[in-house]
């Protein structure tokens, strides 16, 4: 016998499919939502759909944006010769928050993971290599996470770029092993950037 109405069950099921939301949180959110005024719930639902429809990948760096070219790539103040490669837009945001990196980014949207069946073709590597052909890039800083996947990706990218003669560096291991960039404080992020080593 179902404890709740079918609609509530469906809502709980949908919510618990979100990352970081367990069944208890999903229940709490579901009951919270059905007890809110209709307009408020509609606004939330519309915002989700609108974000999904409007958000796209920057045609240069592949970060999530609502313009053809994101504000960082479009800014004349950014040094287009230095590209920092990160796994996702949240990592970009983490480095951007330090305010100390004047270059541009490239967002891979993932990392190579043989265990999960994620290969080089599943992340935005092709786009990076295309950029290196057309742009006047002098350094690629690989700032993938220091997890097994992040290290595998870093090695793979450095091997790809080496033959082009472009300098490839890796952020220093001030970043704890297995650590996600987005959870690391700014000082550590900056130290990792400053202490980067050539691959």
**Whether the Cβ atoms of residue 90 and residue 143 lie closer than 8 Å to each other:** no
Minimum CB distance to Zn ion smaller for 92 or for 157? 92
Closest distance of CB 154 from Zn ion, Å:
21
Minimum CB distance to Zn ion smaller for 11 or for 107? 107
Minimum CB distance to Zn ion smaller for 70 or for 137? 70
Minimum CB distance to Zn ion smaller for 30 or for 73? 73
Closest distance of CB 107 from Zn ion, Å:
8
Closest distance of CB 117 from Zn ion, Å:
28
Adjacent-strand bridge partners of 107: 86
CA distance 176 to 6: 45
Binding site for Zn ion (CB under 5 A): 58, 60-61, 70, 73
Query: Which residues does 34 contact at the CB level (< 8 Å), separation at least 6?
Result: 8, 11, 41
**Whether the Cβ atoms of residue 161 and residue 133 lie closer than 8 Å to each other:** no
SS3 label, residue 30: helix
Closest distance of CB 13 from Zn ion, Å:
36
Adjacent-strand bridge partners of 56: 65
């Amino acid at each position: 016998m179902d404890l709740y109405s079918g609609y509530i069950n469906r809502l709980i099921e949908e919510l618990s499919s979100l990352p970081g939301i367990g069944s208890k949180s999903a229940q709490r959110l579901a009951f919270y939502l059905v007890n809110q005024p209709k307009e408020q719930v509609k606004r939330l639902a519309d915002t989700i759909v609108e974000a999904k429809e409007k958000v796209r990948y920057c045609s240069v760096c592949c970060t999530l944006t609502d313009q053809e070219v994101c504000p960082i790539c479009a800014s004349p103040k950014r040094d287009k010769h230095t590209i920092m490669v990160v796994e996702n837009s949240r990592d970009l945001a983490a480095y951007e928050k330090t305010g100390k990196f004047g270059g541009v980014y490239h967002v891979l949207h993932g990392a190579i993971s043989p265990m999960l069946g994620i290969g080089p073709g599943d992340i935005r590597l092709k786009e990076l290599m295309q950029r290196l052909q057309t742009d006047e890039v002098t350094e690629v800083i690989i700032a993938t996470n220091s997890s097994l996947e992040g290290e595998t990706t870093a090695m793979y990218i450095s091997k790809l770029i080496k033959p082009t003669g472009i300098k490839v560096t890796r952020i220093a291991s001030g970043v704890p092993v297995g650590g996600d960039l987005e959870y690391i404080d700014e000082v550590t992020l900056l130290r990792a950037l400053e202490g980067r080593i050539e691959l």
